[in-house]
Structure 1
Amino acid sequence: MAEYNYEDLGFFNSSNDSSQGHQDFMQFSKFFLPCMYVVVFTCGLVGNSLVLVIYVFYQKLKSLTDVFLMNLPLADLVFVCTLPFWAYAGIHEWVFGSVMCKALLGIYTLNFYTSMLILTCITVDRFVAVVRATKAYNQQAKRMAWGKAICSSIWVVSLLVSLPQIIYGNVLYHDRPFCGYHEAISSMVLAIQMTLGFFLPLLAMVICYSVIIKTLLQARGFRKHKSLKIIFLVVAVFLLTQTPFNLVKLIRSTSWEYHTMTSFHYAIAVTEAIAYLRACLNPVLYAFVGLKFRKNFWKLMKDAGCLPYLGVSGQHTCSEDTSRSASASHNVEATSMFHL
């Protein structure tokens, strides 16, 4: 619903689709997508809020990875906060006005592409930290300064990419009012958005993680196999959540015969919901796997008074993580993916 307007008049103007098929799909999208939005909003709000709280109050920004991991949950958090509006509009109708429509379309698009570009930067940063560990350590202060400049640039670029949605976004009418934008957005704009939102992160992952895997296979260390598993998990999650939706978008923009098929729009709705799951999975994949982050997480749980209810000893947990962190520090930097 946030990415596509399923009530568009052009969706079902073909003889290939019956009126009953149209009605069945509208009933499906009316309940399926809002439910998925609520799930993504709830899980993403909890996970990304925890990451932000830990980075603000417990974990100092000592590395370039920390800078990126500070911006990633911020982008994901703002992204998921737009979903309740789309969920309500999907069940009922758009009641928030034209200005709110433009703002939410802009915020949604801005943070979606900010998040994807930050994932690209995290991938490149891991490549430098593992493959060129010594150089990265010696130039840590310089890399930190560059990292902050890169993050600022990412937000600016994402805002520029979001301008078409802001400019063309408005309240449209078909049976009921809904927020969307006319098909005036050019193919070039859509190509740029797909490049930033999928092809660039995918290319970075393929190239950087291939070299990282080669480096880890040549290294010695007890965490090598764990690091390889995490790499495969990160790539697999990205491919499984992002590839189907972007493939459907690519087909939609090039093959008009699919554009008018009801079954194709079922595919759009389902793959769109799957793509948004990344906002829930990012905190797990890019933050909670770090030893230092988990240690600070248990500190937060202890300070919040949650550990007794969870049946966990805060002192034992922290000392265990500290011991594991100390053991890991004796290995060369190239054998570990996550120096958080």
Structure 2
Amino acid sequence: MEEYEYDPDVWKSVENISKEEHENFLKFSKIFLPFTYLLVFSFGLVGNCLVLAVYIFCQKTKSLTDHFLLNLPIADLLFIGTLPFWAYAIIHEWVFGPVMCKVVLGMYTLNLYTSMLFLTGITIDRFIAVVQATKTHIYQAKRMTIGKIIYIIIWVFSLLLTIPQFKYTRISQKNKKVCHTEEEDISTMVLTIQMTIGFFLPLTAMIICYSVIVKTLIRAKGFQKHKSLKIIFLVVAVFVTTQLPFNLIKLIRTTSWEYDTDPRFLYAFVITEAIAYLRACLNPVLYAFVGVKFRKNFWKLMKAFKCPHAAGRISQYQSSEDTSKSFTASNNAQATSMYQL
């Protein structure tokens, strides 16, 4: 790109379109992208920090899903922390030096792998908790030990996959300094791995696991069944809505490079990428705040900060929990409370 660069797949393609279209695209990007980045940064920072605060100060990590939920906001915060750098670089240029260029792009890639692998882990753990409800309690200690090994493996594996990103990241200068990856060196391999781990693996896990979970919950007897089903459909719908468009655009580009000269394709790439970034804001809502137990602990945290409404909220959730226990009808029905986390 002649002026600045964030995603090489898009910005190098801009050189192939007309000057007028080029300028229009730059004007759009300089407004749309910084606004989107700062929006995701603001809401994502607040949401993920609240999740971390609740888990650190108020909520014991008793289950494997709790451990995954503790690591998920850490992974998302790595990505969120890069957004102000990109917002500034798009408006002006890259002024943060070659080391920060490697770190910022590396953190983005590390988050892609870790967050999606933790989402996959949450999905599989919930599958085990519901479908194997009776055995889950027996092997709880063993699952916790295995789980700790798994999330360490996720971080190490993701870091290893990020090494090419660190290696091939550099700063170039035409009219302005830009931080980017030399995609000619690693594009095919990296894109395949990113799409597999960043989309197809979690999507496949969600489809298979949640299909069996839905079937199990429908057969179970318990008043929480319908609420659990709604949350399942919400989780899958949000994931598909935010991640599918961007991954389809990337897939189309790898099979038909002629789209590089189509301005509509460039706009679609930028917009769907911004939508995909919303996962950093939505993850705390979907995987933490929808849980009754988490919300109760959230209000405990608010009570510690002298929030006047906290005591009433805590009493309300306590009453709800007592009612829940009195209506539990079976092991499978008891497992439907997994979304209370």
TM-score for the superposition, normalised by structure 2: 0.94
Query: Does 2:134 align with 1:131?
Result: no
**What's the secondary structure of 2:338's corresponding residue?**
coil
Return the offset for 1:327: 2.4
Size of the aligned set, in residue pairs, is 331
The more displaced of 249-258 and 44-53 is 249-258
RMSD of Structure 2 on Structure 1 (CA): 1.4
CA contact (8 A) 2:290 2:340 kept: no
Residue by residue over 1:57-76, the C-alpha shift from the partner in whole angstroms, topping out at 9 and shown as x without a partner, is: 11111111110010001111
Return the offset for 1:188: 2.2
Return the offset for 1:336: 2.5
Tell me how far apart the structure 2 counterparts of residues 294 and 318 of structure 1 sit (CA, whole Å): 9
Tell me how far apart the structure 2 counterparts of residues 7 and 250 of structure 1 sit (CA, whole Å): 17
1:318 counterpart letter in structure 2? I
Matches within 5 A, 1:204-215: 204-215=205-216
Tell me how far apart the structure 2 counterparts of residues 244 and 228 of structure 1 sit (CA, whole Å): 25
Query: Does 2:168 align with 1:176?
Result: no
Tell me how far apart the structure 2 counterparts of residues 282 and 265 of structure 1 sit (CA, whole Å): 27
Matches within 5 A, 1:247-262: 247-262=248-263
| Ranges in structure 2 where 5+ consecutive residues have no aligned partner | none
Partner of 1:44: 44
Partner of 1:316: 312
CA contact (8 A) 1:7 1:174 kept: no
Matches within 5 A, 1:22-33: 22-33=22-33
Return the offset for 1:161: 1.7
Partner of 2:288: 287
Tell me how far apart the structure 2 counterparts of residues 2 and 154 of structure 1 sit (CA, whole Å): 27
**What's the secondary structure of 1:220's corresponding residue?**
coil
Return the offset for 1:291: 1.3
**What's the secondary structure of 1:336's corresponding residue?**
helix
- Which structure carries more helix by proportion? 2
Matches within 5 A, 1:36-115: 36-115=36-115
Tell me how far apart the structure 2 counterparts of residues 206 and 174 of structure 1 sit (CA, whole Å): 46
1:230 counterpart letter in structure 2? I
CA contact (8 A) 2:6 2:90 kept: no
CA contact (8 A) 2:34 2:86 kept: yes
Matches within 5 A, 1:326-337: 326-330=322-326, 331=328, 332-337=333-338
Matches within 5 A, 1:120-269: 120-183=120-183, 184-269=185-270
Return the offset for 1:54: 0.6
CA contact (8 A) 1:215 1:334 kept: no
Indicate how the Cα distance of structure 1 residues 191 and 280 shifts in structure 2: closer, same or farther if over 3 A, else same: same
Identity of aligned residues (%): 61
| Ranges in structure 1 where 5+ consecutive residues have no aligned partner | none
CA contact (8 A) 1:130 1:336 kept: no
Tell me how far apart the structure 2 counterparts of residues 325 and 129 of structure 1 sit (CA, whole Å): 19
Tell me how far apart the structure 2 counterparts of residues 169 and 96 of structure 1 sit (CA, whole Å): 14
Indicate how the Cα distance of structure 1 residues 3 and 221 shifts in structure 2: closer, same or farther if over 3 A, else same: farther
Residue by residue over 1:164-213, the C-alpha shift from the partner in whole angstroms, topping out at 9 and shown as x without a partner, is: 21111011223211110112114122101110000000000000000000
Partner of 2:321: 325
Which of 4, 14, 17 aligns to 1:11? It is 14
CA contact (8 A) 2:171 2:178 kept: yes
CA contact (8 A) 1:127 1:211 kept: yes
